[in-house]
Amino acid sequence: MDRTRAMVESSLLVALSAVLFLAGHFLPIVGMAFSLVCPAPLVVLGLRHSLGRAVLGVAVATVITAAFTGAVGALFFCFGFGFLGIALGALGRRYDKAVDIVLYGILVSIGSKLLLMLIAVKLTGINPFGLEEAEIMPMIERIASIYSGLGMSEEALSLAKEQMRATLSLIPVIFPALLVMAATVDCFLSYIVSAAVLKRLGRETLPRLPEFSRWRFPKSIFWALIASIALHLAGAYYPSMAFLQRTALNLRLLVTALFFFQGLAVVWFFMQARGLGRFLRIALTVLVFVVSFLAQIVLVLGIIDMWFDLRSRFRGGRA
């Protein structure tokens, strides 16, 4: 690709990404769709051009968004979409397996979100890792005033305030796990949407992810579960070392999420094996997320499958 054509294509991709982000920022409801597609031009930029040119493109797009949304919107674009997009493109050029690209992409997503969070702490002075009662209560009171205006009784309002206080007090404790989960979902969605867009355009494509029904996580995850239990016991024995209990809780949340999705993959596999239509499979999956009892069954199923590989046994039994 000659220099002039490369510059023109880079400029168009950068402009398209900025326009999609601005559309997602200013348009209600439908803006979410534009936000999902926003990283796709940057993925193409990372796939077709050098990393230096891709980073320069993100910088230019950030300046463009700053002119319309201000510094906060520009930072959100840069760290929320920009770096992840060009990283997925660069990784797609280097690796042949989708799993490798997504795993490294998750690390990039976590890093960019941490940087964004550090900048937000500097600008606002609010540290999500250390919210105190004095910072939480004003938020609760504002929400409670809205509920009160809607006619909620004093008794129900008091109960709601207590529940909100407990929830908001827990968020700083589990914030690391929430950050990792958000980065994973963000990277996964960006990869799927970008891969679909690239396939539609008939240009360079990203490797296809394994079918969800075949997803399996390594048994070594159980060591992380054991580590979380050990940290919890150590934290209970040494109360002054509160970080041990925090680490245990965050690690257990992440391991539990992996068990749950493995169990969900098993459920999806058996629904496919029984010939259920896609709409019905999606509806039943949504039901699992809504009904806590079903979610617990799926979680246990994931743990069992990790040890006994239920899907292989089913295929072997049918052979």
In this predicted structure, the answer to whether residue 26 has a pLDDT above a threshold of 90 is: no
- Mean pLDDT taken over the chain: 82
* Whole-number pLDDT of residue 52: 81
224 pLDDT above the threshold of 60:
yes
Report domain extents, the chain: 1-129+175-208, 210-319
pTM of whole model > 0.85?
A: no
Is the domain spanning 1-129+175-208 CATH 1.20.120? The answer is no
Of 64, 107, 61, nearest to 87 (Cα)? 107
> Distance between CA 213 and CA 242 in Å, rounded?
39
More confident residue, 164 or 125: 164
* CA gap 113, 180 in Å, rounded: 9
Distance between start and end Cα atoms, the chain: 52
